[in-house]
Amino acid sequence: MVEMAIILQGLVWSLMGWSIATAQVQDGPVTAPPPDSLVSQGETTGLDAVHAVVDAVGVSSAQALVSQIQIGNRMEEGLAASLAVVRESFQNNRGIIGANQNTGNLNNQANVQVIAHVAGGPTIRLGEATVEQRLVDNTIVTSGVAREDRIENSFGGTVGIVGINQSAGNLNNQANVVVLTLGKGSGFVALEDSSLGKVNSGNKLIQGSPGPKADVITGSFAGFRGLAQVSQSAGDLNQISNTMNVSFFSK
């Protein structure tokens, strides 16, 4: 069960933020999903999940790009309580799971997974994962705020790839990115590259009476097998990214 609860009193204005996620595969037929679903974007709270599978022989490439930008926002809040909870969920699942949960304001969240499968034969595989996050000239005025992100008794016995973002705070950029290359045959060569760019400039956090904040994971991921990426932010003006670029082959 996924729960979200929020009680807010305050004012938000001058909103500008976006999250863009793209995945590209080349030199092979895309088998799932169709090509027109490989790019998604949204303003302010872009919630993105991108998956691709390709079979190729020769030279091929797989790319994942996430760009999250927050510029010139101002937000005021007071007497607020914000709670994001994932409880007893995603047990004994198989495959790819992406979850974004946001009870705050002006948060960018993205889960991007690119899976490239090489059918066989001499192949050079190029894998690239890029994350850009920027927070510039934002202002938050806050007082008496209670916030909590909680993952409880979830993801037990799950096998696969999991990406989850939770934010009970404000103006946070969160991204989970996986580029996974599967090859077969002794002629398989993997060339991987990951890059990360973050800018945090000119932001102001004006805080009155502080309230409690907590990011909690309890009783979860028991017996999990695979790749798991978790981002939690009960605070403000945070930039968090988990990036994995993994290649392996079998003969």
**Contacts of 35 by beta carbon, 8 Å cutoff, 6+ apart:** none
* Exposed e or buried b per residue across 31-46, where buried means at least 16 C-beta atoms within 10 angstroms of its C-beta: eeeeeeebebeeeebb
State residue 194's pLDDT score. 77
Closest CA to 229 of 150, 142, 136, 163: 163
CB 226 within 8 A of CB 162: yes
- The pLDDT value recorded for residue 10 is 27
Pairing of strands 17-26, 58-71: antiparallel
pLDDT band at 242 (very low <50, low <70, confident <90, very high): very high
In this prediction, residue 215 has a pLDDT band, given cuts at 50, 70 and 90, of: very high
Residues in the chain, how many?
A: 251
pLDDT of residue 118: 67
Average pLDDT value for residue range 146-175? 94
Write down the pLDDT at residue 248. Answer: 74
- Out of 4-8, 142-146, 161-165, pick the least confident: 4-8
- Residue 29 is predicted with a pLDDT of 34
The burial class, CB within 10 Å (0-12 / 13-18 / 19+), for 14 is: exposed
| 223 has pLDDT over 80 | yes
Q: How many CB atoms lie within 10 A of CB 250?
A: 8
The proportion of the chain whose per-residue pLDDT surpasses 90, expressed as a percent, equals 39
User: Binning pLDDT at 50, 70 and 90, where does residue 128 land?
Assistant: confident
pLDDT of residue 120: 63
Query: Strands, DSSP E only, in 51-167?
Result: 53-54, 58-71, 74-87, 94-102, 108-117, 123-136, 139-143, 146-152, 159-167
Question: Looking at residue 61, what is its pLDDT?
Answer: 66
Q: Coil, helix or strand for 37?
A: helix
In this prediction the pTM is 0.79
Q: Which of the four pLDDT bands, split at 50, 70 and 90, describes residue 190?
A: low
Nearest partner of 174 among 165, 161, 183, 184, judged by Cα:
165
Decide if 205 contacts 140 (C-beta within 8 A): yes
When pLDDT is cut at 50, 70 and 90, the band that residue 138 belongs to is very high
> What value does the mean pLDDT of the chain take?
76
pLDDT at residue 195, rounded to an integer: 79
How many angstroms separate the CA atoms of 115 and 63, rounded? 10
- Tell me the two tokens of residue 132: 């850009």
More confident residue, 198 or 14: 198
> Tell me: the pLDDT tens digits for 36-93?
333 323 233 444 555 555 555 565 667 788 888 889 999 998 888 899 999 999 999 9
In this structure, are residues 113 and 98 in contact, taking their beta carbons and an 8 Å threshold? yes
pLDDT > 70: percent of the chain:
68
Over residues 173-178, the mean pLDDT reads 91
